[in-house]
A = this chain, B = another copy of it.
Amino acid sequence: MKRPAARPTGSGGPLGIICGGGDFPVQVAEAAQAAGRDVLLIGLQGSADPGIEAFPHVWAHVGEVGKVFKALGEAGAQDLILVGSVRRPAAKDVKLDWVGMKSVASLGRLLSGGDDQVLAGLITFLEEHGYLVLGIPDVAPDLLVRPGPLGRSKPDKAALSDVAVARKVLEVLGPFDVGQAAVVADGRVLAVEAAEGTDSMLRRVAKLRAQKRLRGEGGCLVKMAKSGQDLRVDLPAIGPKTVEGAVEAKLSGIAVEAGRAIATDTAALVKTADKAGLYIYGFGSGGGVP
């Protein structure tokens, strides 16, 4: 699932945005429009936010492949991007049209295996049908976290040492399609994310601290793309809710890989972090930032 070394960054023409949950699809649509592209938002029934209706859009059930392809054709969109969270669809949110029926074997295969495999399979499916699938770095690079501190607070030496431990943990877990996040305080690994998601992991740390079951204070949340991960899918993301979770867990800050993680709703995120004295930090990425 490595991304090809040299890949076209798209036609620059109309962009189809396949929208899962959250308000991130809307932010991507705004960024693409600001860069001068027309957009068509495809809202996945049961996942996407009604906010997408502020843009040219169609709604589609999972499985309405023909409807989606037709709408993209009418908009002249050859480039696609997949954005937002998608839960395993409920039966009522699945509906197979004629093209969906013909593709049911390929689509069925997508529903086994880990998240990485599902999304990789979906990209292959779309590319086999002639679309070019782009990533946030291609379409909305301003949404990527930049190197260094994002708000007023900065990680001190002890914090950077915790960040380094968490990065190592996530690096060794890379091959396993496990979660992309860990919490470390005073060199000790307090939590590793797997299927539960980052918010749930932070609630767990908050609870352990409330029960006084943890030694030490502070600590960091680190989120990282898996090694070899296709940056067109499932980039690690932080937003205001992540910061609230980190505050509840009494952490000192959050660190993500610069250029390989998304900050959603940056203004609100930084405001919340600054108010609580948390650092938000982009590490690595070659810019002289450790």
Q: Which residues of A contact B (CB under 8 A)?
A: 87-88, 111-114, 165, 168-169, 172-173, 176-178, 182-183, 186-196, 200, 204-205, 208, 212-216
Copies of this chain, whole number: 2
A113 and B188 within 8 A (CB): yes
- Chain B's nearest CB lies how many Å from the CB of A58? 27
B165 and A169 within 8 A (CB): no
B176 and A173 within 8 A (CB): no
- Chain B's nearest CB lies how many Å from the CB of A179? 8
From known contacts A176-B169, A204-B204, infer whether A114 and B213 are also in contact, taking CB-CB under 8 Å. Answer: no
- Chain B's nearest CB lies how many Å from the CB of A279? 22
Which B residues are in CB contact (< 8 Å) with A190?
A: 194-195
Which B residues are in CB contact (< 8 Å) with A165?
A: 176
- Chain B's nearest CB lies how many Å from the CB of A277? 23
- Chain B's nearest CB lies how many Å from the CB of A177? 7
- Chain B's nearest CB lies how many Å from the CB of A22? 16
From known contacts A169-B176, A195-B208, infer whether A87 and B215 are also in contact, taking CB-CB under 8 Å. Answer: no
Which B residues are in CB contact (< 8 Å) with A187?
A: 113-114
Given B112, B114, B168, B208, which contacts A176 in the complex, CB threshold below 8 Å? B168
Given B178, B183, B205, B212, which contacts A169 in the complex, CB threshold below 8 Å? B178
B213 and A195 within 8 A (CB): yes
Given B177, B192, B204, B215, which contacts A178 in the complex, CB threshold below 8 Å? B192
B177 and A188 within 8 A (CB): yes
From known contacts A88-B213, A204-B204, infer whether A189 and B196 are also in contact, taking CB-CB under 8 Å. Answer: no
Docked Cα-Cα span, A193 to B168, in Å, equals 17
Given B178, B182, B193, B213, which contacts A87 in the complex, CB threshold below 8 Å? B213
**Which of A187, A188, A215 has the most C-beta atoms of chain B within 10 angstroms of its own C-beta?**
A188
Which B residues are in CB contact (< 8 Å) with A215?
A: 88, 111-112
Which B residues are in CB contact (< 8 Å) with A177?
A: 188-189
Docked Cα-Cα span, A113 to B188, in Å, equals 7
Q: Nearest B residue to A118 by beta-carbon distance? A: B215
Q: Nearest B residue to A169 by beta-carbon distance? A: B176
14 contacts between A and B (CB under 8 A): A87-B213, A88-B215, A112-B186, A113-B186, A114-B189, A169-B173, A169-B178, A178-B189, A178-B192, A191-B194, A195-B208, A195-B213, A196-B208, A200-B204
With A88-B215, A173-B192 already in contact, 4 other A-B pairs whose C-beta atoms are closer than 8 Å = A87-B213, A172-B173, A178-B189, A200-B204
Which B residues are in CB contact (< 8 Å) with A182?
A: 194
Which B residues are in CB contact (< 8 Å) with A111?
A: 215
